[in-house]
Structure 1
């Protein structure tokens, strides 16, 4: 019986992804805007509390949560539909699309959950998405089999591209938040200047 690929040179992808997830978590905690009052382990509980409190309000926060939920359903549908209908193999760009949308969606989820911190400095979500994406690559290494038939070079390339595309989605989201802050800050300064005249 042949050994599982986990014990081959492809182990470098699993170990590298685990190391990158740890490095990404450290970078997240070292980046301005990181929600320091909440430990990483508490993030799911913070998310659940915010959902319970803010979803029924019927205001702009309810809309934000609904948009994040709809985006999650869309990305999940594209991913699982792509698997079911073998779209990933027919159209290689499908993987890029789902990873970019997933990275943007995770950044949005983190930003809505920790919006005060994100509005102060949105780029902490980029490092967080990198860490989460690398953690997902570890999950794929341990529990999935699709990569068994790939060469080491192809597997490394696929993993690096996945992480870059995930992170690119987060960069787009963080840049949009920074642009929103800049425009709102300029509008607020203009309004306060007009009031002082």
Structure 2
């Protein structure tokens, strides 16, 4: 009788992903900018409150939420379309694309939900996305079957690449947020100088 895939040496991916999710969650909470005034379990409620308050405003915040929603639909369409039409096996880079876009989207969602801390120090979203990505790898290990026929080496490499690409998307968001903060600070100093003249 064959060993079930979950109890094979591939278990190292599931256990490793759990351990990485926990370490990355700890690193997130220890990183400057982490929204300490909100408990982790309250994040969904914070998101819903922000959406209720900011969507009807019709300003740049409404546009940011709309952009995140459109991005989410696009990433979901690319992923589920890729699964349905078997694009993942035909175009190996498709997986990289969807993971990078997903990491960027999750980072944007976190960053806009917790704008104040993120504008002060946006790099907290990088380990947060790593923790979420590792959690998703645990979900795939437990509930999906596509990896059952993979070798242990291929599965480990695929998981590491997925996590690196997710985190790279988050890093791109953090860099963009840093540049936005610097540009806003320069614009603000310029407008203060113009008013004092």
Tell me the CA shift for residue 3 of structure 1: 2.7
- Change beyond 3 A, Cα 1:26–1:144: same
Normalised by the size of structure 1, how large is the TM-score? 0.97
Residue 17 of structure 1 is matched in structure 2 by 17
Counterpart check, 1:179 vs 2:184 = no
CA distance in 1, matches of 2:40, 2:144: 25
Counterpart check, 1:143 vs 2:143 = yes
How many residues align? The count is 197
Tell me the CA shift for residue 107 of structure 1: 0.4
The SS at the match of 2:148 is helix
Tell me the CA shift for residue 62 of structure 1: 1.2
CA distance in 2, matches of 1:53, 1:193: 33
Tell me the CA shift for residue 183 of structure 1: 1.4
Normalised by the size of structure 2, how large is the TM-score? 0.97
Residue 47 of structure 2 is matched in structure 1 by 47
Structure 1 gap ranges (5+): none
Tell me the CA shift for residue 192 of structure 1: 2.5
**1:21-70 Cα distance to aligned partner (Å, 9 max, x none):** 00110011011111101111111111111112211222211111111000
CA distance in 2, matches of 1:34, 1:58: 28
Q: How does 1:119-138 map to 2 (within 5 A)?
A: 119-138=119-138
CA distance in 2, matches of 1:134, 1:107: 14
Structure 2 gap ranges (5+): none
